[in-house]
Chain A
């Protein structure tokens, strides 16, 4: 079955540690995205990538980093510079310039 996988579903880290969230898709989509969602709020765009080896900052990129070495993978690193990292993180992908984005199940990160 084609789709987007994110792992792990729940992640706990100590303050000051970097953590990497995984996102993999087998839909052969060119574009991939990372969003952050806080309780009771909508999603906010962190980074997006329209092609391998290229990515752009979204609205809230500070304290995050990404890489896009392969078409199917777009990992997100939450660095210690991110002041409030506890949130629900969602990865998505789409055919470039197509409207519909497909979302993964999300990773809930808690920093203690």
Chain B
């Protein structure tokens, strides 16, 4: 699977939008972009995924660059419960052969 690059940590204030970047310059045409998040001592939780177009769901939005070499996870109004490690993952097999997690971005939310 292609490699992703994320900042080690980011800090934001409660009730403000958060933009979490991910670079994936070696992405292939069949790679989906997945985002998961993990709270301390818990299993990861699926957030969102996309291929080419921007995507929205109840948790977040995913903005994908036109050349697909980068993407941004957008939390529209951060709460304290959004404090977690966020992982950006590429996979071309629908995930059935497992996912490759990097170190992710540790998101800190200030009250």
- A positions within 8 Å CB-CB of B: 4, 31, 33, 35, 40-45, 48, 50, 56, 58-59, 88, 90, 92, 94, 96-106, 108
Contact = CB atoms under 8 A, between A and B. Distances in A.
B87 to A, nearest CB: 6
26 contacts: A4-B43, A35-B98, A35-B101, A43-B44, A43-B99, A43-B101, A45-B99, A48-B96, A48-B98, A50-B96, A92-B43, A94-B95, A94-B96, A97-B93, A97-B94, A99-B32, A99-B34, A99-B46, A99-B95, A101-B46, A101-B95, A101-B99, A102-B46, A103-B44, A106-B41, A106-B42
B20 to A, nearest CB: 15
- Grouping DSSP codes into helix (H, G, I), strand (E, B) and loop, the A interface class, with mixed when no group exceeds half, is strand
Find the residue from A40, A48, A56, A99 having the highest chain B CB count within 10 A. A99
Given A99-B49, A100-B46, A106-B42, A42 B102 contact: yes
Find the residue from A33, A41, A88, A101 having the highest chain B CB count within 10 A. A101
A100 B49 CA distance: 9
Contacts of A100: 46, 49, 95
B27 to A, nearest CB: 16
A40 B9 CA distance: 12
A12 B46 CA distance: 30
Interface string B19-62: 00000000000001010100001111110010000000000000
